[in-house]
Amino acid sequence: MALLIEDYLQVLPNYTFPDRIVARALGFYKIEPGTPAFDVPEKERDLAEAMMWDSAAGLVNGGAYRKQIGDRSITTANLQTSQQDRSAWSAKAAQLRAKWGEEVTEAYAPIIMDQSLFW
């Protein structure tokens, strides 16, 4: 079974990015959803991955979520990140862009800064 690009772009092992974040990276580099990851040209795959690392670097810590239904409850812990984690993830994104001679452009910068999709 082939690894799909949507799964490949889930760069953090303990966090699942919302579909709209992955769709934004796919759309920015015109990658068709459902494509096997290694059928995507390496440059586009790397640059979409860089966007995901930038998104990871923008994650903020939050408290646990608890939902009570009758006598049952579900508690979901949020991702806890440190400044060191976020710096490493930003560096990974920069490394992938540098590999292809890409810089953060004005068109790309709002995508890095817009973290409203995580609210």
Q: How confident is the model over 17-73, as pLDDT tens digits? A: 999 999 999 999 999 999 999 999 999 999 999 999 999 998 876 655 677 777 887
Q: What is the pTM of this model?
A: 0.77
Range of the domain at 28: 5-118
pLDDT of residue 64: 58
Q: Which of 50-64, 67-81, 90-104 has the lowest mean pLDDT?
A: 67-81
C-beta of residue 33 within 8 angstroms of C-beta of residue 5:
yes
CA–CA dist 98, 93 (Å, integer): 9
- Quote the percentage of the chain above a pLDDT of 90: 58
Q: Is the pLDDT of residue 85 over 80?
A: yes
Task: Give the number of domains in the chain.
Answer: 1
Q: Which ranges of 1-119 would DSSP assign to H, the alpha helix?
A: 5-8, 19-28, 42-57, 83-99, 109-113
pLDDT of residue 1: 81
Give 11's pLDDT tier (boundaries 50, 70, 90): very high
C-beta of residue 28 within 8 angstroms of C-beta of residue 37:
no
pLDDT of residue 118: 53
Q: What is the DSSP letter of 4?
A: B
Strand 65-69 relative to strand 72-76, pairing? antiparallel
Phi, psi torsion values for 13, nearest 5 degrees: -70, -20
